[in-house]
């Protein structure tokens, strides 16, 4: 058939042109020609052009009313290889059959690409933005990449270069947004940064006009405030990024305009919790005055959302207005005292306040749950164990231990608490072990190594698998071979038990994380521990705690460059987490020393 066409192609303008790249739109249009030979020849020429024709083919595949043309365009797009000639075997494996996978699996694979060592998956993610036929998938890939940027990030420049190579000349809106972001991040002047932000804003407006929403029922793929599951959620990532670009360009007023759009989207969806999280994010990133844009929602009435009021209190504290902050916090606390507020709402507030760095407000909400005789034993168990771990994170170990002792031993011990602990996945013996571990930490801080050792032994008697206790005993042994000989069998036994747990629950991230944490802080196969840490992150994308574990594995292997990068990501996820910041400082100091 093709040979026949070549004989009479002289009267098909553009088809036989020496440089068909110049006439790609005409070639695409001929995919729907009524003459089969013309359709076949156009298909062949476009297939030869490959990625150069991607923009026109994607547009035709997504929007053409001509079924023949659309189907051929889709066939050609699906033939465009996502893999590149320089990709590692691991990248090629991840991209294998990518277009044929369901959405959830595509998202998981994109997460894996994002966190491959040496940024090996960044350019391939950019190719997904450029070549993936699904606009929703391309948009999520772009959001994942955009979310990696913050002003002044030392790890961003190589990512920017890889993103640029991946998206190429693509004119798709998600690619255009990334191009503006990359250009702005490199700009030397405020005027250049303003121009780049304008380009990104134009791309975001174009994206809003497309149907980029993915199917419903997608998994939660990140923290509750940044789950990339639909068009609204990805737009929040782009909008936040644009706000930072405006601030970097010195455009504070324009940044507040974007903040208004960010809040408007959550108001339309009646998502007060998301608005609260966004407000604290803005306060942390230099725009605490954004609280004024929510004045109407913070009017002094009984219907005001307590979580939003707490977020406003955090913003006013960042502004230095302690009076307003205290007033709003008291109002939020009182609102949660109301009869219509379930204890679960109070616990949610306590957990978020901890993440926001509002330590005393968080502990006050936990105390309100724990001190209330009407609180269910299940909620009591959950709040007490969470607050104790938070106090430990703040190095308030005596208080942490006291909370748990009251729960399991104190005069206020409630009937059925052991069963309640089991129901919220807390082994009563494990809780007792944690209590003794916290007391051991307090003894260490007081300069009492003998008391610390005694309490650690009691902790292991209560629960011999407590990983932190085993790590502490190993640390106390130091280089004393006699003591190490005693502790090594205990660690080996714990590792064997964790392996059994992993075998029984292969899709549970906790076991992988516990194994990696124990080995990286004591002895064992660090390479396997690193592999397990990565597996835990594949199952729980960008968990700050699991990133912390991976960073410890990398440090244990002597790779402080990667450890610092990974720990920086953990700190970015939870910027007010005291222990995460201390670990980052420790890795940086170790890297400098080495």
Q: Give the pLDDT confidence of 313-326 residue by residue, as tens digits.
A: 999 999 999 999 99
- Tell me, yes or no, whether 118 lies in a domain: no
Q: What is the pLDDT of residue 45?
A: 92
Tens digit of pLDDT for each residue in 295-354? Answer: 888 886 556 789 999 999 999 999 999 999 999 999 999 999 876 668 899 999 999 999
The answer to whether 526 and 555 are in contact (CB under 8 A) is: no
What span, in angstroms and rounded, lies between the C-alpha atoms of 377 and 398? Answer: 23
Q: How many CB atoms lie within 10 A of CB 360?
A: 9
What span, in angstroms and rounded, lies between the C-alpha atoms of 331 and 299? Answer: 11
Q: How far is CA 568 from the centre of its chain?
A: 13
- Tell me, yes or no, whether 530 lies in a domain: yes
Q: What is the pLDDT of residue 296?
A: 86
- Tell me, yes or no, whether 389 lies in a domain: no
Residue-wise burial string across 285-322, b where 16 or more C-beta atoms lie within 10 A, e elsewhere: bebbbbbebbeebbeeeeebbbbbbbbbbbbbbbeebe
Q: What is the pLDDT of residue 271?
A: 65
Low-confidence ranges of the chain (pLDDT < 70): 1-22, 211-231, 267-272, 300-303, 339-341, 412
The answer to whether 237 and 146 are in contact (CB under 8 A) is: yes
- Tell me, yes or no, whether 62 lies in a domain: yes
Percent of the chain that is helix, strand, coil (3-state, to 5): 75, 0, 25
589: closest CA among 540, 555, 553? 555
Q: How many CB atoms lie within 10 A of CB 537?
A: 23
Query: Which residue among 49, 79, 109 closes a domain?
Result: 79
- Tell me, yes or no, whether 23 lies in a domain: yes
Query: Which residue among 64, 79, 94 closes a domain?
Result: 79
Q: What is the pLDDT of residue 578?
A: 94
Q: What is the pLDDT of residue 343?
A: 87
- Tell me, yes or no, whether 257 lies in a domain: no
402 Cβ contact partners less than 8 Å away, ≥ 6 residues apart: none
Query: Which residue among 59, 79, 99 closes a domain?
Result: 79
Q: What is the pLDDT of residue 19?
A: 52
* pTM given for the model: 0.89
Q: What is the pLDDT of residue 215?
A: 38
Structural domain for 518, as ranges: 489-594
Q: How many independent structural domains does the chain possess?
A: 2
- Tell me, yes or no, whether 63 lies in a domain: yes
- Tell me, yes or no, whether 46 lies in a domain: yes
Q: What are the CA-CA distances from residue 212 to residues 91, 176, 206, 237, 243 (Å)?
A: 26, 15, 11, 14, 21
Structure tokens at 560: 């402080």
Q: What is the pLDDT of residue 422?
A: 87
> What CA dihedral angle connects 473, 479, 480 and 485, to 10 degrees?
70
């Amino acid at each position: 058939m093709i040979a026949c066409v070549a004989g009479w192609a002289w009267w098909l303008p553009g088809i036989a042109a020496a440089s068909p790249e110049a006439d790609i739109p005409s070639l695409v249009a001929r995919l729907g020609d009524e003459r089969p030979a013309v359709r076949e020849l156009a298909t062949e020429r476009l297939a030869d052009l490959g990625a150069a024709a991607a923009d026109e083919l994607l547009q035709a595949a997504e929007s053409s009313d001509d079924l023949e043309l659309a189907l051929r365009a889709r066939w050609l797009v699906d033939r465009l290889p996502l893999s590149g000639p320089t990709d590692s075997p691991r990248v090629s494996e991840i991209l294998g059959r990518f277009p044929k996978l369901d959405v959830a699996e595509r998202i998981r694979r994109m997460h894996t690409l994002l966190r491959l060592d040496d940024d090996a998956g960044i350019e391939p993610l950019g190719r997904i933005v450029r070549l993936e036929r699904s606009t929703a998938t391309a948009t999520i890939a772009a959001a994942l990449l955009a979310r990696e940027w913050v002003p002044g990030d030392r790890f961003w420049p190589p990512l920017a270069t890889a993103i640029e190579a991946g998206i190429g000349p693509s004119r798709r809106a998600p690619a255009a947004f990334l191009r503006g972001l990359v250009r702005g991040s490199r700009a030397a002047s405020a005027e250049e940064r303003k121009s780049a932000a304008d380009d990104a804003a134009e791309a975001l407006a174009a994206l809003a006009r497309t149907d980029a929403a993915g199917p419903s029922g997608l998994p939660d793929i990140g923290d509750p405030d940044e789950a990339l599951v639909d068009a609204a959620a990805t737009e929040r990532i782009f909008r936040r990024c644009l706000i930072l670009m405006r601030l970097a360009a010195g455009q504070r007023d324009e940044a507040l305009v974007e903040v208004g759009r960010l809040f408007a989207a959550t108001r339309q969806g009646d998502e007060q919790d998301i608005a609260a999280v966004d407000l604290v994010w803005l306060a942390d990133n230099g725009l605490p005055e954004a609280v004024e844009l929510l004045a109407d929602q913070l009017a002094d009435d009984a219907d005001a959302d307590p979580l939003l009021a707490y977020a406003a209190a955090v913003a006013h504290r960042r502004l230095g207005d302690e009076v307003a902050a205290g007033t709003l916090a008291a109002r939020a606390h009182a609102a949660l005292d109301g009869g219509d507020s379930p204890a679960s709402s109070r616990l949610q507030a306590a957990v978020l306040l901890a993440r926001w760095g509002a330590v005393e407000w968080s502990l006050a909400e936990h105390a309100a749950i724990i001190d209330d005789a009407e609180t269910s034993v299940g909620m009591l168990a959950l709040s007490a164990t969470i607050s104790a771990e938070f106090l430990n994170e703040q190095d308030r170990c005596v208080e942490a231990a006291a909370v748990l002792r009251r729960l399991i031993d104190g005069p206020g011990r409630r009937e059925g608490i052991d069963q309640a602990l089991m129901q919220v996945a807390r082994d009563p013996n494990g809780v007792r072990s944690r209590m003794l571990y916290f007391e051991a930490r307090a003894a260490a801080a007081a300069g009492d190594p003998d008391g610390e050792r005694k309490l650690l032994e009691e902790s292991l008697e209560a629960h011999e698998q407590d990983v932190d206790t085993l790590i502490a005993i190993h640390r106390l042994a130091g280089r004393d071979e006699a003591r190490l000989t005693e502790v090594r069998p205990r660690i080996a036994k714990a590792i064997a038990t964790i392996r059994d747990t992993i075998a029984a629950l292969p899709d549970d991230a906790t076991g992988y994380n516990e194994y990696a944490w124990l080995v990286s802080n004591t002895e064992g196969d660090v390479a396997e521990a690193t592999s397990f840490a990565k597996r835990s992150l594949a199952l729980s994308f960008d968990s700050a705690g699991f990133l912390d574990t991976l960073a410890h594995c990398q440090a244990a292997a002597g790779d402080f460059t990667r450890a610092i990068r990974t720990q920086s990501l953990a700190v970015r996820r939870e910027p007010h987490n005291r222990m995460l910041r201390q670990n980052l400082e420790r890795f940086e100091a170790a890297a400098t020393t080495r």
